């Protein structure tokens, strides 16, 4: 189902910032509209450094197993102050969730959100030609697939070249058929609701299996913690990217858990948010 961008979304009402100690904050901005879908599911929050103009933009895709989570609980206490303090516009998006809306609904939504940001972020002080994508857990899967499979952004009139870089925070579902090895050729329950039982769907939804040479693909900075499957999946994705002539770097965050890698990002003792800031500045 194609998502139609809500052209009326950016009205003066949405352009009036909500005061914040860290940044100018614009909450629940609709990026698309679909009949019968809760508008909250198709909305995003924007955090802008005061006085920003043509600032780099970091778009965050939340985790939650494709079945739960939201744009607000994706943002640790330190995300916004850290990244806006670095001079970046920070955007956190919602998307439709399984089981009511399985794959590819959340991919279509993420593409619509990126298209909205590309078209409208200049009104919020961001540079539409300097957009980075970041995701945690299930959001890392969504960000990775959006970056390597151009069909989702193509439906919005764009290509993955609109993304200057992609940051992945401890995803493990980059090769979904590989996950079925542990379930007797049946996916573990976590993955069945979003991806079903069809191996063809599993392959189509697998970033590692969708990497292609000669196609626009942003450089990737891939983090993983020390948990079963995450390191192997991250390195396999990076190997596929590099084998196809694309740029990828893998960082093991051995001192973090799956949860704290995201929640602690940007705290005073955090080593990983500065890596992301450097990645953004270098691309």
pLDDT of amino acid 14:
40
User: Given this model, what pLDDT does residue 184 score?
Assistant: 63
- Give the pLDDT band (50/70/90) at residue 12: very low
Tell me the Ramachandran region of residue 39: left when phi exceeds 0, alpha when psi lies from -120 to 50, beta otherwise.
alpha
> Does residue 246 sit in helix, strand or coil?
coil
Q: What is the pLDDT of residue 1?
A: 37
Closest CA to 167 of 103, 79, 85, 87: 79
Q: What is the mean pLDDT of residues 8-28?
A: 55
Kindly indicate the confidence band of residue 16, based on its pLDDT and cuts at 50, 70 and 90.
very low
CA angle 65, 242, 266 (to 5 degrees): 50
The maximal CA–CA distance of the chain, rounded, in angstroms, is 56
Dihedral (C-alpha) 147, 148, 151, 152: value to the nearest 10 degrees?
Answer: -30
Across the chain, mean pLDDT equals 92
Q: What is the pLDDT of residue 182?
A: 63
Q: Is the pLDDT of residue 10 over 60?
A: no
Q: What is the pLDDT of residue 199?
A: 94
pLDDT of 76? 86
Span of 18-32, 153-167, 230-244 with lowest mean pLDDT = 18-32
What pLDDT, in 10s, does the model give residues 131-188? 999 999 999 999 999 999 999 999 999 999 999 999 999 999 999 999 988 656 678 8
Q: How far apart are CA 203 and CA 184, in angstroms?
A: 17
pLDDT of residue 181: 80
Could you report the per-residue pLDDT of 83-128, keeping only the tens digit for each? 999 999 999 999 999 999 999 999 999 999 999 999 999 999 999 9
pLDDT at residue 42 above 90?
yes
| Structural domains of the chain in order of their starting residue, each with its CATH number | 24-282 (3.40.50.1820)
């Amino acid at each position: 189902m194609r998502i139609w961008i809500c052209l009326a979304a950016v009205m003066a009402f949405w352009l009036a910032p909500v005061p914040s100690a860290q940044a100018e904050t614009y909450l629940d901005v609709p990026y698309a509209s679909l009949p019968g879908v809760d508008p909250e599911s198709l909305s995003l929050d924007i955090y802008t450094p005061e006085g920003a103009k043509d600032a780099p933009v970091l778009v965050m895709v939340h985790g939650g197993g494709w079945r739960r989570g939201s744009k607000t609980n994706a943002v640790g206490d330190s995300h916004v102050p850290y990244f806006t303090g670095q001079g970046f516009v920070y955007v956190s998006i919602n998307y439709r969730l399984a089981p009511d809306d399985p794959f590819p609904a959340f991919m279509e939504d993420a593409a619509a959100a990126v298209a909205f940001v590309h078209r409208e972020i200049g009104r919020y002080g961001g540079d539409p030609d300097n957009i980075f994508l970041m995701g945690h857990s299930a959001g890392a899967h969504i960000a990775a697939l959006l970056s390597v499979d151009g069909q989702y952004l193509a439906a919005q009139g764009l290509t993955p070249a609109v993304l200057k870089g992609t940051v992945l925070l401890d995803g493990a579902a980059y090769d979904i058929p590989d996950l079925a090895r542990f379930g007797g050729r049946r996916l573990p329950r976590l993955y069945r609701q979003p991806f079903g039982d069809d191996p063809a769907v599993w392959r189509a939804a697998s970033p590692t299996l969708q990497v292609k040479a000669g196609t626009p693909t942003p450089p990737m900075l891939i983090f993983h913690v020390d948990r079963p499957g995450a390191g192997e999946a991250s390195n396999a994705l990076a190997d596929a990217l590099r084998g196809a002539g694309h740029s990828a770097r893998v960082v093991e965050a051995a001192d973090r858990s799956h949860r704290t890698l995201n929640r602690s990002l940007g705290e005073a003792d955090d080593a990983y948010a500065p890596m992301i800031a450097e990645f953004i500045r270098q691309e």
